[in-house]
Amino acid sequence: MKLCEVIDALNSEVICGGDGERNITGVITGDLLSFIIGEAQEGEIWVTIQIHLNVAAVAVLKEIPMIILSSGREPSSELADKCQEENIALIVVKESAYEVCAKLKELRVES
């Protein structure tokens, strides 16, 4: 699925649109940065409740094209600015990580 199609399918507040044409390869969720550094694969969506600048640094490091902040967590302005600069999609959803992951599974985003 293309990144822009994922954004269209979710009810979210879009902070940064990112590269809409990027293909999504899967989904990872977690709030421990080193866990994401160790486990995330290129092209995955990252669902987290962390909202500080280092989230963008990890996304850049792992070539993660899209970050979903769950449970309505609003990003820090530094995170929003960095995502803009790096062309990483950043959206906020009201649902919990569990609920949004279930939705992403249903959408079969990796296909």
Interacting residues with another protein (CB under 8 A): 31-35, 37-38, 48, 50, 52-55, 57-58, 60-61, 63, 76, 78
Closer of 48 and 70 to another protein (Cβ) = 48
Helices 54-62, 77-86: axis angle to 10 degrees equals 20
When the beta carbons of 73 and 105 are compared against another protein, the nearer one is 73
Convert 2-46 into a string of H (helix), E (strand) and C (coil). EHHHHHHHCCEEEEECCCCCCECCEEEECCCHHHHHHHCCCCEEE
Nearer to another protein, 14 or 61 (CB): 61
- Locate all alpha helices (DSSP H) within 42-86, ordered by sequence: 54-62, 77-86
CB of 5 to another protein, least distance (A): 27
In the complex, least distance from residue 36 CB atom to another protein, rounded to whole angstroms = 8
